[in-house]
Structure 1
């Protein structure tokens, strides 16, 4: 029975990979909007109904690791080393997994050049917020809807995208964002703080 189950799972994985490979190739060659799901199914040598058993829609064909990404995100919190803070565990996991994207990777190039796929990727990644919040609640003893839990979950999911837009070193940028969260905002010496209510404006003595 175990052997049969293992063979079935391998076959399922092979079919999904064949569909993803065919989709990326066709979308890259002809453009995302010019290719239909039936053409992808034919290129992968499967029926259209088989395609929809594995993927809910056209955009999903390019993203085959959604469940794995969520599991790894949750595991980073639940399986962190004893004494290691949740914040540091999340930071290091995201630095390792979300900032090392090869800009010449065909899938990355396709997603970045296709607005529909960029939007889908963002929505897909954001869907992990609930699972991450649940893991953070379990780790901290707080309620799943506590602002500290939901705020950290949202921050952790949004920060990698922001870090990747800042320049050539997204890993450093992501660490800086987490440091800002950990240590709090501090105005620079050059900042001009607004006077407290009732205080004279700068340059006035009374």
Structure 2
């Protein structure tokens, strides 16, 4: 009796498909070997600030031999490798590639290889390198003369990208806005630690700080006059 080659091939395909499906279902039912994942979504390796590295954190269900890597256009960059105990894992990436060069601005993908369980897990969110400094400018600053406690100095501004605005008076930061909008307004009472600043002329500047930690150049100084209360 002749063997029907197409029939055998079809049966083999069914077996392979069923096996793959069973493996997939088993993996779905098994608890993930890592949990409580937190990955910084944007950073600037050139900002000289706390966000100059990207933090990658997760909890390891069981001790394993790990390789934490970043997937780039040219391959994977290993940022941590070795035996890790059960519990919290925290690694940092400084934005450098395999040859220790700073990688260009763009989106990169963190992943974890687990040797014991034979799995590779893509972490939930990509990491974006952003080294472009924002720009900021005043659209208004009023009044140019005011009395602390009676009137507040009000500044409106526009930034080139989503960023916080910082108000500096005589070189010292006095206001930091939580807003990240492209335009906004901030106020200064003319007081420091609850006390009015000295009467007279003061130089006011704005600086923008984007979500990656890059800071703009300061605006040209605007002189305001603080009256005696």
TM-score by length of 1: 0.25
Write 1 or 2 for the structure with the bigger share of strand: 2
- Kindly indicate which of the two structures has a greater share of residues assigned to helix: 1
Task: Please tell me whether Structure 1 or Structure 2 has the larger radius of gyration of its CA atoms.
Answer: 2
